Structure formats: C-alpha cells, structure tokens
Structure 1
C-alpha cells in the first residue's frame, strides 16, 4: 500500500472513510492497536505523544478523527519515512 495514495485519499474526503480503512491507514503509518472498548479502538506509536482514538459509527469513521490522523502525519513528517515494503 502506498502511503502517499492513502494520505491523499484521507485528505480528499474525510467525511467518507470507512472505519476499517482508517484503522488500516493508521497501521500503515506505524501505529499499533493498543486496545479499546465497544466501538472505540486506540492506536499509539513509539516516539509520538498523541494517541489516536477511533470510533466506529455504523462502519464509518468520524471525520474529525480522520483529520486528527492527517494532522499527526503532517506534524511528524510520517510521509517522508521510507515505506516498509
């Protein structure tokens, strides 16, 4: 999966992102699932203070949570990192 393509997909329309797609995107950028309860999933990454808390609402991600991931990607220059593949 190409980080640039995923980033552009999230940025293009944050209101129309499936919950599972958002979780996959977080993992692509190095975040690891750390647990959660009910419809919530928490992701964290070593070296990043902020944790991501995503909520599944009928299979969709909340737009502000998509924007939150995008903000962290920009803040920590995660697009500049080499792809693991």
Structure 2
C-alpha cells in the first residue's frame, strides 16, 4: 500500500484524529487550492466545486471531526482523481 493510500485509509478510519497538515495535503491532492486563512485556519476551494473546505487546527494538531467528515465526502466524490 502506498503512503498516499495509507493516509487516505487512516483518515477514513479515524476522523477524530486527522492532523491539520494531513488534511491540507489530501485536499491539495484532490485539486483544492488555498484561498487564505491565517494562523490555525485554512480555507480551500476547487474550481467547479460549490463546497469549499475550511480546516481549523485544534490543540494537538488535529482538525474537528466534522471537518474530517467533509474531507471524506470530498474523497468519496473525487478519489478517482487522486
């Protein structure tokens, strides 16, 4: 299993423990680009996609589970492009 596939599997299996850096990395693999944000926040968008992603780094370097579920929904939609 490649490192990319392992990271995606880890995100799917543990949405409560997704690291901020990993979420941003996977979003970029899916074609999302940074629209801004500062400090512990990052907003990302993808051309043609109405729904953007917004990640907030919390204590311990993880994102909130609901944001991980939003990322998983985008994986479901665009994973064939990764």
Cα distance in 2 for partners of 1:24, 1:64 equals 18
- Structure 1 or 2: more strand by fraction: 1
Aligned partner of 2:25 in structure 1 is 24
Runs of 4+ in structure 1 displaced over 2 angstroms?
4-7
- Structure 1 or 2: more helix by fraction: 2
Aligned-pair CA distance for 1:24: 0.7
TM-score, structure 2 length as denominator?
Answer: 0.83
TM-score, structure 1 length as denominator?
Answer: 0.81
Cα distance in 2 for partners of 1:56, 1:17 equals 10
Alignment RMSD, CA only?
Answer: 1.5
Cα distance in 2 for partners of 1:62, 1:15 equals 7
Give the gaps of 5 or more residues in structure 2: none
Aligned partner of 2:80 in structure 1 is 80
Which segment drifts farther, 33-42 or 48-57?
33-42
Aligned-pair CA distance for 1:62: 1.0
Give the gaps of 5 or more residues in structure 1: none
> Equivalent residues in 2 for 1:1-85 (5 A)?
2=4, 4-58=5-59, 59-74=61-76, 76=77, 78-81=78-81, 83=82
Aligned-pair CA distance for 1:47: 1.2
